[in-house]
Amino acid sequence: MASLCVHHTSLPLSPPHQVTVPEPSRALPPSSRLPALPSSSNHVSALPRPAAAASSAFACHCKAPVRDHDAELLRALRSNGNGTLHGDTAPPQVLDSRSDGPGGGDGSKRSRFCARDCAKRIMELPVEERVKVLDLLPRDDAALTVSDYNDILSALARAGDHATAVALFRAMPVAPDAHSFATAVQCLCRQGAPDEAKLALDEMVARGFRPSVATFSAVVGCLCKRGRVTKAMEVLDAMCGLGCEPTIRTYNSLVGGLCYVGRLEEALELLKKLKDSPLTPDIYTFTIVLDGFCKVGRTEEATAIFHDAIGMGLSPTTFTYNALLNGHCKEGNPLKAFALLMEMCGNNDAACLPDKTSFGIVLTALLRAGETSAAWQTYKRMERAGFEVDGRALDTLARGLCRRCATDASALGDAEEVFAKVVASGHEPVSYTYCLMAQALARGGEVDAAVALLEDMVRKGYALRKRAYTDVVRALCDRGRARDALQVLVLVMIVRDFVPGRNAFEALLGELSRQGRWADAMAVYAAAVKRGVVVSWKHLGREAHSPEEPIRLGVPVPQ
C-alpha cells in the first residue's frame, strides 16, 4: 500500500486550478442508504435507463485477483491520478477497434489474429489458469462462444494486458454479454480512461444489462481519480436509480475526488452524513479527508478528524499517521511530528507502526529545522526498526552533530558514528561536512584523527575552510606539537596553494615563542609576510634562550 507522506518526494494533491474543466459546486447525490444527504432532484443522470433490467446481477470483476481499492485510491491521490487521459494517443492495439459486431466484415479474421497475439500474455499466467484458455485458441472462430471470449478477456485482464483485452472486446464477432461489458469497463478503468469507461457503462445499461455495484464503483473511482467529480455523481445517481446500493468504497472514491479538486468542506459534510447513516465510514474514509486537510495546511482540523475516528473505535493505519506527520512538518511544526512519531513507536498495534516513509518525513523536517537532538533520536529509532537512512540525510545529521559538539562534548562519538555511516553508505560527504568533522575532532581532543581527515580532504581535492585547519593547528599547538602544526600549514600552503589565515599563523608563532624557538618563529613570520598575512609582533619581542635547529619550511627566509 502506498504511503500518504511527502518527502523528498512529496505527496501534494494537485490544486483545483490544475483540473481541466473547473466544476461548480453542486449538491451531493442521494442514496437510499443516506437519507440525510442533500437532494439533487434537478439532476438528470447521463446514463440511460434500460428497457428491462437483467434478472440477476452479473459478475463484474474480470476474475482478477482481489485488489485493495482504498489503497489504490490513496496511491492515486499521491500521484495526482496520472493515467491515460481520454483523447491522448491510445496505446498500440492488436486489433482494429472498428468492429461492427456479429457478421461485421472480416471480424473472424481479426479475432483469430488477436487470439494468436493474446497467447503470449496468457502464457504468463499460472499453468492451471492458462490451460483452459489456450485450449480455445486453436478452435475455429465460428466455434468460439461468448463464454469462450469472456474466458480470454478475463485471462488478459489477469495478465495485466488491459489494452489488448479492450481491443478484443471491440472486435468480438459475437454479441457481448454482461460479463464481457463488465470486464471491458474494468480494463478501461485500469487504463485510466474514465470517459471511455463511462461510455462502455452507458452502452451496457442501454442494452438492458444491469451492472453490478463493483462495476459502477470502478467507474466512479476512475472518474474521481481524474478529478471528474460531477460526472462521478451522475454515475452514482444512475447507480442508485437502478437499485444498486453504493458501498463505503464507492463513497470513499467520491470523498477522495472531492478532496482532489479542493472541495474539502463538501468532503467533510459527506463524511458527517455517512457517520449518521447505516453505512458506517471506515478508517480509509477518515484518512482521505484528514489527508486533504493536511495538504492545504489545516492540520488542526485534520487532528480533530483523527480523534473523531479513534472515538468511533476505528484503528488508525500507518497511512493515517503519515498524513498527519506530513501536515505537521509542512506547517513548520517538526517537534509535533516527532512527538506523534514517538507515539507510533510505542504503539503495540502492528498496523500503525512507523514505516520508512514515516521516519523519513520527520527526520528531514527535524534536520531542516536544526533540531539535532530529536533528529538523532529519530535516526536511532529508524536504525533499530531496520530501515536504512539515505546518505544525504546522514550527511546533514553529521553536520548537525558536529555543530553540537561545540557545546556538548559527548556528541562527538555520535558524530563520528554517523560520519562513518555516511562514508560506508557510498555517499561521499560534502566538503563542509569534512571540515566540521575535522573541527569537532580537534576540539574533542582527537587531533591525530583530525589531521588524517585534513590529509584525506587534500588528497581528494576538497576545499579547506580556514576555521577547520586553524582549529587543528591550535589543538596541535596546545599540546606542544609545533612540528605537526607546521606540517599542517605546509600542507595548506604548498600542496593546496591556499593562504592560511592570521589566526593559524599566530597560534603557531605563539607556541614556537613559548618553546624559545625564535629562528623557527622568524621563518614562520617571514612566510606569513610573503603571503600578505599581517601577524602580531608580540611573540617575537624576546631574546632567544635555547635556540634549536631551524625547521625547513620549503620557503625562502629573508636575510
Q: What is the pLDDT of residues 441-479, one digit of tens each?
A: 998 989 999 999 988 888 888 888 888 888 999 999 999
The amino acid that residue 348 corresponds to is: N
**Cβ burial 215-246 (10 Å sphere, 16+ → b, else e):** bbbbbbbbbbbbbbbbbbbbbbbbbbebebeb
Nearest 5°: the CA angle 121, 126, 129 is: 85
Q: What is the pLDDT of residue 537?
A: 63
Return the percent helix, strand and coil in the chain, to nearest 5.
60, 0, 40
Q: Are 507 and 473 in contact (CB under 8 A)?
A: yes
Residue that is written with C-alpha cell 463505503 in the block:
248
Q: How many CB atoms lie within 10 A of CB 137?
A: 15
For the chain, report the end-to-end CA distance as a whole number of angstroms. Answer: 78
Residues of the chain with pLDDT under 50: 1-67, 69-70, 73-74, 76-114, 542-559
C-beta of residue 436 within 8 angstroms of C-beta of residue 469: no
Q: Which of 205, 224, 212 is nearest to 186 (CA)?
A: 212
Predicted local distance difference test score (pLDDT) of residue 283: 94
From residue 105, give the alpha-carbon distance in Å to each of 112, 146, 173, 398: 14, 18, 9, 72
Per DSSP, the three-state class of 22 is: coil
**Structural domains in the chain, sorted by start:** 113-246 (1.25.40.10), 257-314 (no CATH)
Which grid cell is 550? 631551524
pLDDT at residue 76, rounded to an integer: 42
- Cβ atoms of 174 and 182 within 8 Å: the answer is no
Pairwise CA distance, residues 338 & 508, whole Å: 46
Query: How big is the CA angle at 282 (ends 219 and 244), to the nearest 5 degrees?
Result: 40
CA 250-256-259 angle, to 5 degrees, is 145
User: Rounded distance, CA 475 to CA 473, Å?
Assistant: 5
Environment class of residue 64 by beta-carbon count within 10 Å: exposed (0-12), middle (13-18) or buried (19+)? Answer: middle
Q: Under a CB-based contact definition with an 8 Å cutoff, are residues 547 and 517 in contact?
A: yes
Question: From CA 502, how far away is CA 532, in angstroms rounded?
Answer: 10
Q: Are the C-beta atoms of 118 and 152 separated by less than 8 Å? A: yes
Question: What pLDDT is recorded for position 156?
Answer: 85
Render pLDDT for 281-320 as a digit per residue (tens, 0 to 9): 999 999 999 999 999 999 999 999 999 999 999 999 999 9
How far is CA 44 from each of CA 218, 237, 270, 450, rounded to the nearest angstrom?
A: 21, 8, 21, 77
pLDDT on residue 501? 83
Q: Measured on CA atoms in the order 21, 25, 27, 29, is the torsion positive or negative?
A: positive
pLDDT at 90: 36
In degrees, rounded to 5, the angle at the alpha carbon of residue 232 between the alpha carbons of residues 227 and 238 is 175
Residue with cell 492515486: 76
Cα separation values, 493 from 110, 500, 527, 555, Å: 80, 7, 10, 10
Closest-CA residue to 32 (of 248, 242, 245, 267) = 245
The mean pLDDT of the chain is 76
The grid cell for 553 is 619550511
